[in-house]
Structure 1
């Protein structure tokens, strides 16, 4: 048999597969109709596992057993997705302990932010809150404590930076506060200034104070001035406030321009950090709610420490057409060499595709917690 004949036969087989695929999807609707009447769950883990085992038994070639299982696992995922699409059309609602609301309300609410006035948390918070609605705390954990205790309605935390990556401690913190959820993402442009309390030139500075993230975001600047000692502080604006009070000689801070102006510091050099430097902040609340227009979901998941476990988890999103924009691993504190994963997924909790993916994780025994489903807000450079 020549190549052209082989290709023609493959085309014939492919047409038959497409026809059978369409027939299988049509039957999935009939299954959904029956489940709508009887109240049965869309996902039947026991039935699917039995089906996959029987498929493996049918395949004669040992090398094709695993690929056949994956092919049919995907087909069953698509069948469930089809069922959920139908159920959604007739009014079925997903239940993941989150409630859909029309919009978020910030009027008359208090926001907890770490640091002092004109910190980047303060600047990002002012996108939605009035100046007199923002209350300051000393540490990032205090932000979450304020929200959990009811002293503040919302809290704001820096989570990631486009130049330097994730704020690891804040991800670890958020994983421990199960009652709280992410209600909004604020992408705020960050531009650091090098500022002093005296009349110095940049090359005269010997010490630079700032938050560790800010210092790291300006690493290209420090390559030009390797003699400068980098000293970590709790916050960029706190560093600015301290320097304004101590007036330390030959010292400088990295902070925002508004912070430098507010605390009366002299700007030696503007735009020290990268021009494309943006920090992602999470707005934290106590209610497990999401808006109808939310299109991004952040979750924590614990994948079993065995071959293929993370692959199958990611496959549940892939087969449902959901895009993962971030996956970060963090060690589990009390278990050596065990990891949890922070995942960002595009989608809304009310969508059948999202429900299908999350239901599959649940039925497969994957532990996960939804941190929030929200609409990102991108702030333009002023």
Structure 2
């Protein structure tokens, strides 16, 4: 009969059963691949971003619809995350606690089936990966509003870890509390960067409320559980995990607010064809030194996407530059530019070539 849903629902049930059967068939192949990888190299990373990118690009390219192409990526992110967990545990260290934006970036990259290890500092993230207690680490590197995270840059000076990938995470700040009643709020807590990113909104809408800095946005949400007069600026995920009510969504001053995160590993990823290379170098103190440093990139047709300077901490007025360029160090033009620059540097370190965020 017209309007009868039962027939369509039965068809959906049949299709869902078939999807489940095929997922299990896919999983059997994944397990065999895991056995082969371990036989070839017991210490190899099971996560292969080049293969994952190829799968998603192929599926998006041949999608006839009506299933939206933009939904294919998150769906297959979870399928591949679950598949990797069958091959072996994927341990990911990150700047915790749960429900921080770093945690959200981890889930965007590795899905919900990875084993996440929250730690208390960026230094601890590096340490967990260096000691082999985690396969990967995820740390913030820069924000579109507040700029670079200097502590992360400093850690690369002495670390032997490589950059394995990057994640761009949209940062949307929400005001939340236990009761959800704005009139009850006497204090707002959050991480210093989150407060800075919402300063105009706070001064306009809650100018007389005390603002207090805490270790993380997630810690702020946790505090709200104990006192109805305290509000937190945190993520939507934090509201869900800590049972809070959102009083006002998206209070960040800049709606185009993103944080870039780096994925750390002891091993390099495979080349994908859409890669980025990061370098750390120190130049001789002379007139035109920075120009001479950048010229080989331009002459070899390489686009530079970032340059940041930091004091070297080893000699007064000596600076180390962190540079991101498009391309992989195995590409002839990139390798040629790096070789040209080496002779002009006091110090150079290649932090890795890795897939650019898609």
TM-score (normalised: structure 2): 0.71
Gap change, CA 1:365 and 1:135, over 3 Å in 2: closer
Aligned to 2:59: none
d(CA) in 2 for partners of 1:237, 1:122 = 10
d(CA) in 1 for partners of 2:207, 2:49 = 52
- Contact 2:195–2:233 (CA under 8 A) maintained in structure 1: yes
Alignment of 1:130-279 (within 5 A): 130-131=112-113, 133-177=115-159, 179-201=160-182, 205-224=185-204, 225-244=206-225, 246-247=226-227, 249-273=228-252, 274-279=254-259
d(CA) in 2 for partners of 1:362, 1:284 = 24
Gap change, CA 1:258 and 1:301, over 3 Å in 2: same
SS state at 2:284 partner: coil
SS state at 1:377 partner: coil
- Contact 1:200–1:250 (CA under 8 A) maintained in structure 2: no
Aligned to 1:125: 106
Q: CA deviation at 1:344?
A: 1.1
Q: CA deviation at 1:288?
A: 3.5
Q: CA deviation at 1:153?
A: 0.4
d(CA) in 1 for partners of 2:329, 2:114 = 34
Aligned to 1:77: none
Aligned to 2:66: none
- Contact 1:180–1:288 (CA under 8 A) maintained in structure 2: no
d(CA) in 1 for partners of 2:324, 2:234 = 29
d(CA) in 2 for partners of 1:229, 1:301 = 43
Aligned to 2:50: 103
Gap change, CA 1:219 and 1:362, over 3 Å in 2: same
Q: CA deviation at 1:330?
A: 1.1
- For these two proteins, the number of residue pairs brought into alignment is 274
Aligned to 2:264: 284
- Contact 2:282–2:345 (CA under 8 A) maintained in structure 1: no
Q: CA deviation at 1:102?
A: 8.0
d(CA) in 2 for partners of 1:135, 1:102 = 21
SS state at 1:171 partner: helix
Gap change, CA 1:363 and 1:337, over 3 Å in 2: closer
Greater relative contact order (Cα 8 A, min sep 6): structure 1 or 2?
1
Gap change, CA 1:219 and 1:261, over 3 Å in 2: same
Q: CA deviation at 1:327?
A: 0.8
Q: CA deviation at 1:114?
A: 1.6
What is the CA RMSD across the aligned residues, in angstroms? 2.1
Stretch moving more, 228-237 or 268-277: 228-237
Larger radius of gyration: 1
Query: 324, 343, 348: which one pairs with 2:328?
Result: 348
TM-score (normalised: structure 1): 0.67
- Contact 2:188–2:209 (CA under 8 A) maintained in structure 1: yes
Alignment of 1:55-94 (within 5 A): none
Q: CA deviation at 1:119?
A: 1.5
- Contact 1:183–1:290 (CA under 8 A) maintained in structure 2: no
| Structure 1: stretches of 5+ with no match in the other structure | 1-100
